[in-house]
């Protein structure tokens, strides 16, 4: 869980630190790490639960850990905020500035 959060943070900050829109690699890496929370992991299982608003603590060999601790939920929410910030920044480069 910490690794996914750390990867999202590093990649999203890399994307914001002057690398967008010229180098989308940073954004793509942040998205890839974030996607781990929503099912793009070895088991293809979502860790974030939109029903409860919580995030499971991690993966076992064959299933998600059913515990939804505060640390995991905050890791997901902070990662979501990082991704939204990077997406907004990317969108601002794509849209022309209104006069």
Query: Residue 39 has what DSSP assignment?
Result: T
Provide the angle, in degrees to the nearest 10, between the axes of the packed helices 2-14 and 25-35: 160
The confidence score (pLDDT) of residue 83 equals 86
Report yes or no: 57 and 68 within 8 Å, Cβ to Cβ: yes
Chunked into runs of 10 residues, the chain (99 residues) has average pLDDT values of 68 65 76 90 94 92 92 89 84 69
Single pTM value for the model: 0.79
The confidence score (pLDDT) of residue 18 equals 57
| 53 torsion bin: left (phi>0), alpha (psi -120 to 50), beta (else) | left
Domain ranges in the chain are 2-91
Query: Residue 18 has what DSSP assignment?
Result: I
């Amino acid at each position: 869980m910490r690794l996914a959060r750390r990867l999202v943070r590093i990649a999203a900050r890399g994307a914001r630190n002057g690398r967008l829109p010229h180098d989308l690699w940073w954004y793509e890496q942040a998205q890839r790490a974030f996607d781990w929370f929503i099912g793009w992991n070895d088991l293809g299982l979502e860790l974030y639960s939109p029903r409860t608003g919580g995030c499971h603590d991690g993966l076992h060999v064959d299933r998600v850990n059913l515990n939804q601790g505060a640390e995991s939920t905050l890791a997901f929410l902070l990662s979501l905020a990082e991704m939204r910030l990077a997406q907004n920044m990317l969108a601002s480069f794509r849209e022309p500035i209104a006069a």
